[in-house]
Amino acid sequence: MEQIKTIKKRTVKKRTVKTVILAMIALLGAFVFVGCTSRSGGTAPVYYSYKVKDINHCGFFYISKTTYYGNRVEFDVNSRYDISGMNFSTPDDPNATVDFKNNTVILYSDIPNDISSLEVSNGWFEINFRYLDTSEYACIWRTWADDLGWVEYEGDTDKYYTEEEKEQQREAAKRAEELRKQAEKEDEELFPVFQGKWVSDDGDYFDIYDAGSSHGFTRHGVRYHQNDPEYTEEYDYFKFSKFGGENQYRMLYTTEDTWGIQIAYDIEYDGGNSFLYLGKEFTRAGESAESQKSNRTREYFDNLDKESSYDKIVEELGPCGFRGSGIIYNIWQLDDGTEARVVFDSEGKIVMIYIADEDNNVERIYKREY
């Protein structure tokens, strides 16, 4: 009996060792499988390297590699500028936190495997990335220009946007075009109502006039002058519209040259011979005063005494607009639809004079000799 028991014990022991070995092999296989297939929760990180030359990318900032870990996503970037001064976020996880290590942007997240997009910005550019969890992402970007404002997005817009987004953009463009046509019609109807000179009892006045056309646009000019303190401002490209409640109207100036700034005069008008602006009554005083506009010609600048100052030209032509960043151009719209662009030095003396036609062909007619 003792011999039989011993054999049984040995048999049980051999089976136990075999079972343990098989279990260990199965468990090891499971680890290998998980490590190879999981993007964020496994033992090995998963990364995507990109052939940037095959991607329509932004030259001064692009991503070369994205790596997914269990608690974060790391983006290896090539940037012309210091990344620590930029803003990074992802719409896939608004709660993600950002850190930096050399040229790597790190997003810590509870859901790293859900992150496939990145948004980058600073004061003068925005770059948006999508499909970073594939071998070829898409990105779009736009930059800020002092003389234009935000330019249109460039990059691979067709790949970046979904079909649903493209349809929404088409619908938005259609609605915007309808609103533009409606606003143009309203402007054409209202401008003749307000055209002319309107004067208050204390001598302040509005001079509203037809400034002709330029670059395909009808220009309505408004010169506003107040006596106390003495101040005059004048711009073209005003649009007239109904605004707010009954008898409320708006004269609005806004173009690309205003860098997003709008100038608006909100008035109350009941169809009579006067309107209210900031509680002050302005009464119609006849036709628009064109004395300052009559000198706005090419001949004026051709024959201008080049020692004339900024103040002298403003006195003869009225106030001007401005354009530019490094070099500031003082812009006078001319009666024939062209514009004069004058550069002054710090003392208000003329440095250069340009004339630009409606197609933006620019001719320099004067440059100071040193």
The residues, any chain, with a CB within 8 Å of residue 283's CB and separated by 6 or more, are 198, 199, 200, 273, 274
25: number of Cβ within 10 Å? 10
Contact present, 156 and 162 (Cβ < 8 Å): no
How many CA atoms are closer than 13 Å to the CA of 74, on its beta-carbon side?
14
Per-residue pLDDT of the chain (370 residues; tens, 9 = 90+): 444 333 344 444 444 545 545 555 555 444 433 333 445 445 589 999 999 999 999 999 999 999 999 999 999 999 999 999 999 999 999 999 999 999 999 999 999 999 999 999 998 899 999 999 999 999 999 988 765 667 888 999 999 999 999 999 999 999 999 998 999 899 999 999 999 899 999 999 999 988 766 555 677 888 898 888 888 887 777 889 998 888 999 999 866 554 556 788 999 999 889 999 999 999 998 765 544 455 778 889 998 888 888 888 887 887 777 776 667 888 887 877 788 999 999 888 999 999 988 778 899 999 887 6
Bond preceding residue 229 cis, omega within 30 of 0: yes
Beta strands in 216-349 (DSSP E): 217-227, 230-235, 238-242, 248-253, 263-269, 274-277, 280-284, 321-323, 329-333, 339-344
**CATH code 2.40.128 region(s) in the chain:** 187-284
Label the pairing between strands 104-108 and 138-145: unpaired
Lookup: tokens for 81: 């500028």
Q: Tokens 């649009």: give the residue.
A: 239
Write the CATH number of the domain with boundaries 187-284.
Answer: 2.40.128
Task: Report the distance separating Cα 270 and Cα 246, nearest Å.
Answer: 9
DSSP secondary structure letter of residue 14: H
Residue 82: Cβ within 10 Å count: 9
Contact 352, 227 (CB under 8 A): no
Strand pairing of 248-253 and 263-269?
antiparallel
Look up residue 238 and give its two tokens.
């005003």
Per the CB < 8 A criterion, the answer to whether 284 and 198 are in contact is yes
Sign of the dihedral through C-alpha 221, 227, 228, 231: positive
State the DSSP H helix or E strand holding residue 191, giving kind and residue range, or none if neither.
helix 163-194
- Model confidence over 237-264: pLDDT tens digits? 788 999 888 899 999 986 655 455 678 8
- Per-residue pLDDT of 162-209, as tens digits, reads 999 999 999 999 999 999 899 989 999 999 999 989 999 999 999 998
